């Protein structure tokens, strides 16, 4: 059994990790931290876990995380970088759901996140945890930088076209919408019920922190300089993400060739579902499931890729468990077979 610790177990990605790992046949949960809920049984805060998780939260300084085989950080940016060096030195694998190790260039990280990087020596060894694009490296990794939720949709949508060299990489557009759980379990005016329900708005238009992360990853697949315009929106739902991606084709290709390109790219990928050309994927078809669905459309020389996922599952915790499975030589989909909740 893999002994697992979770730092930040009270947050939304933390409880999503617990939901998935409680049913994982090869996992034994050892420690779940919270600074605010030290001593509280996990199931008292999350009754959905009654009878499934019998541990109590413990303060991070009381939890002996070095007894674990792997520790997930479901914490704000900056927490994992402080603890990862000691854990890795003790032989513990680390999967960070935050951005601490996603951007290789320290200066870009620091200017994007406005925090100093305290473990820059680990940036090189960290592996970006997007299994569909980095499977072999993830399997050999000891430190995973789990991708942001929006970047997962943008990469899995654009990469087949970039690899094929069929689009103008200098002018990629991503118009993305997220449910409110994407902002985490915290008290903030913008995510209050009266502010975010029955309402719809863009944010971060001038430059969201997921732009440098995504552009740097997309750059790996093209010689052309990537230009990405990314605009996120907050939609009045709890879970779910819908990204509408636009790219200009630079050569004559038929709709059938476009469809074939994506079907070939994802045929062997258990968690990416390519719908028939012209389909309209729905966020609820991914609710609670570790799956990303996409569909292609065409407007003249512009290809439009519609991508949906659950921001907390394929966009965060499910993806992290997918990485854990690979790192421990397990079947990639172990514990991740839940079908989405529809309607």
Ligand X SMILES: CC(=O)N[C@@H](CCC(=O)OP(=O)(O)O)C(=O)O
Ligand Y SMILES: NC(=O)C1=CN([C@@H]2O[C@H](COP(=O)(O)OP(=O)(O)OC[C@H]3O[C@@H](n4cnc5c(N)ncnc54)[C@H](OP(=O)(O)O)[C@@H]3O)[C@@H](O)[C@H]2O)C=CC1
Catalytic residues: 149
Q: Which does 92 bind (CB under 5 to 8 A by kind): ligand X, ligand Y, none?
A: none
* Choice between 67 and 255, CB closer to ligand Y: 67
Torsion-angle region of 316 (φ positive above 0: left; ψ -120 to 50: alpha; else: beta): alpha
Distance, in Å, from the CA atom of 272 to the CA atom of 163, rounded to the nearest integer, reads: 17
Interacting partner of 74 out of ligand Y, ligand X, none (Cβ under 5 to 8 A depending on kind): ligand Y
Measure the CA angle with vertex 64, ends 60 and 68; round to 5°: 115
Of 63-71, 126-134, 145-153, 265-273, the segment contacting ligand X by CB under 6 A is 145-153
Check residue 56 for interaction with ligand Y (CB under 6 A).
no
Cα Rg of the chain, angstroms: 20
One residue of 68, 122, 127, 316 binding ligand Y per CB under 6 A: 316
Does 76 engage in binding with ligand Y (CB under 6 A)? Answer: yes
> What is d(CA 55, CA 139) in angstroms, rounded to the nearest whole number?
29
**Do the beta carbons of residue 3 and residue 30 sit within 8 Å?**
yes
Residue 20 interacting entry, from ligand Y, ligand X, none, C-beta within 5 to 8 Å by type: none
Chain centroid to CA 338: 17
| Cβ atoms within 10 Å of 329's Cβ, excluding its own | 7
Contact pattern for ligand X over residues 74 through 113, marking x by CB under 6 A = ------------------------xx--------------
120: its two tokens: 């820059």
* Interface region with ligand X, contact rule CB under 6 A, candidates 59-67, 81-89, 176-184, 249-257: 176-184
Under DSSP, the state recorded for 246 is: E
Site for ligand Y in 10-29 (CB under 6 A): 10-14
Does residue 196 bind ligand Y (CB under 6 A)?
A: no
232 touches, from ligand X, ligand Y, none (C-beta below 5 to 8 Å by class): ligand X
**How far apart are the C-alpha atoms of 174 and 154, rounded to whole Å?**
7
Which of 144, 149, 120, 148 has the alpha carbon at shortest distance from 70? 144
Q: Which does 5 bind (CB under 5 to 8 A by kind): ligand Y, ligand X, none?
A: none
Question: Binding residues for ligand Y, per CB under 6 A?
Answer: 7-14, 34-37, 60, 74-77, 79, 97-98, 148-149, 181-182, 184-186, 311-312, 315-316
């Amino acid at each position: 059994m893999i002994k697992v610790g979770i730092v930040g177990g009270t947050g939304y990605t933390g409880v999503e990790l617990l939901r998935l790992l409680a049913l994982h046949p090869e996992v034994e949960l050892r420690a779940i931290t919270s600074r605010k809920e030290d001593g509280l049984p996990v199931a008292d805060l999350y009754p959905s876990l009654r009878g499934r998780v019998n541990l109590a939260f413990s303060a991070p300084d009381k939890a002996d995380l070095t007894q674990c085989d792997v520790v997930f950080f479901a914490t704000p940016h900056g927490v994992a970088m402080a603890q990862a060096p000691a854990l890795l030195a003790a032989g513990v694998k680390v999967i960070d759901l935050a951005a601490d190790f996603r951007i290789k260039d320290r200066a870009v990280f620091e200017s994007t996140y406005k925090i100093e990087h305290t473990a820059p020596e680990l940036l090189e060894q960290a592996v970006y945890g997007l299994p569909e694009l980095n499977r072999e490296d993830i399997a050999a990794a000891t430190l995973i930088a789990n991708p942001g939720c929006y970047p997962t949709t943008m990469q899995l949508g654009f990469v087949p076209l970039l690899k094929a060299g069929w689009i103008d990489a200098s002018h990629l557009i991503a118009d993305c919408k997220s449910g409110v759980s994407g902002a985490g379990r915290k008290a903030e005016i913008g995510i209050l019920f009266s502010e975010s329900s029955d309402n719809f708005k863009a944010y971060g238009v001038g430059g969201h922190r997921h732009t440098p992360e995504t552009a740097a990853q997309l750059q790996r697949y093209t010689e052309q300089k990537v230009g990405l315009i990314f605009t996120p929106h907050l939609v009045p739902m709890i879970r779910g993400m819908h990204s509408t991606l636009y790219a200009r084709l630079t050569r004559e290709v038929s709709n059938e060739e476009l469809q074939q390109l994506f079907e070939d790219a994802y045929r062997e990928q258990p968690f990416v579902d390519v719908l028939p050309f012209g389909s309209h994927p729905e966020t609820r078809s991914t609710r609670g499931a570790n799956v990303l669905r996409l569909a292609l459309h065409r407007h003249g020389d512009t290809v439009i890729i519609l991508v949906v996922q659950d921001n907390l599952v394929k966009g965060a915790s499910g993806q992290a468990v997918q990485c854990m499975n690979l790192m421990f030589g397990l079947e990639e989909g172990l514990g991740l077979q839940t079908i989405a909740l529809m309607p």
